[in-house]
């Protein structure tokens, strides 16, 4: 990635939006570019958290294993999102594994460099605070959905959030498509594979999604909102 492209990536990152050009220039001088092949890991759960990653290309699955060793998928991150900020701030080990679904390119800033940038340019610190607040809001929303909503609403919410994050790519017939198995979706929502299969069949019957082995395509993304809030059930 050439220097001008790195600067553009920094400028469009939520970490540096709206800050002085001097802050971007300081980050540019400290940044390291790293690329990863598809199906490789950037870091693993319990690794030291030494750097923050600004995603410029590709999709990253963030997950961890529960006490039974079962994978729990938290989300899929896409450009221009930020990865790994919590461990960097807390000086703590990584709490999840970051796995590349595609070829991934990142702009990497190490802890000491990021701290120096934030001390000199508080706008970056405010942006980081905004990222963390959004993470917390998303987490609270997800806890609410998983605790008080039907399984269908949880599945619809998971699909909608992944769609809004850019995890789906154009597939057959130009439909937004995600390489996600029934087990992956079970790991995302905390349900059994059998339950997920039943819900997906209902969504497919209603013309909202289309499934193929290992694939989920969205036929009517807007209808997911109706499922989340139970509006379709009220209409039937």
Asked if residue 78 lies in contact with residue 43, where contact means CB atoms within 8 angstroms, the answer is no
| 114 in Cβ contact with 88 (< 8 Å) | yes
Q: Is 21 helix (H, G, I), strand (E, B) or coil?
A: helix
Read off the pLDDT of each residue in 3-18 and give the average, rounded to a whole number: 89
Nearest C-alpha neighbor of 211 from the set 186, 187, 177, 188: 177
pLDDT for 233 equals: 52
d(CA 89, CA 171): 38
The model's pTM is 0.86
Cα separation, 171 vs 216, in Å, equals 10
- State pLDDT tens for residues 154-184: 999 999 999 999 999 998 789 999 999 999 9
List of domains in the chain:
3-138 (2.60.120.10), 149-235 (1.10.10.10)
Q: What is the mean pLDDT of the chain?
A: 92
Token representation of residue 115: 């701290």
Neighbours of 221 (CB within 10 A): 16
C-beta of residue 37 within 8 angstroms of C-beta of residue 100: yes
Percent of the chain with pLDDT over 90: 78
CB atoms within 10 A of CB 5: 13
> What pLDDT, on a 0 to 100 scale, did the predictor assign at position 3?
67
């Amino acid at each position: 990635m050439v220097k001008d492209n790195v600067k553009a990536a920094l400028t469009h990152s939520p970490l540096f939006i709206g800050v002085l050009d001097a802050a971007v220039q300081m980050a540019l001088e400290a940044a390291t570019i790293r690329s990863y092949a598809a199906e490789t890991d950037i870091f693993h759960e319990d690794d030291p958290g030494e750097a923050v990653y600004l995603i410029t290309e590709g999709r990253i699955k963030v997950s961890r294993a529960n006490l039974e060793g079962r994978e729990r998928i938290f989300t899929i991150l896409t450009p221009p999102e930020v990865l790994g900020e919590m461990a960097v701030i807390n000086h703590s080990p990584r709490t999840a594994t970051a796995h590349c679904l595609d070829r991934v390119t990142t702009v990497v800033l190490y802890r000491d460099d990021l701290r120096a940038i934030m001390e000199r340019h508080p706008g970056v610190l405010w942006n980081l605070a905004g990222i963390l607040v959004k993470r917390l809001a998303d987490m609270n929303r997800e806890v609410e959905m998983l605790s008080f909503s039907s399984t269908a609403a949880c599945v619809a919410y998971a699909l909608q959030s992944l769609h809004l994050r850019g995890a789906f790519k154009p597939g057959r017939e130009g439909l937004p498509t995600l390489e996600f198995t029934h087990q992956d979706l079970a790991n995302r929502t905390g349900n059994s594979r059998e339950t997920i299969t039943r819900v997906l069949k209902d969504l497919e019957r209603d013309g909202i999604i289309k499934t193929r082995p290992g694939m989920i395509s969205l036929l009517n993304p807007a209808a997911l909102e109706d499922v989340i809030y139970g509006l379709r059930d009220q209409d039937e």
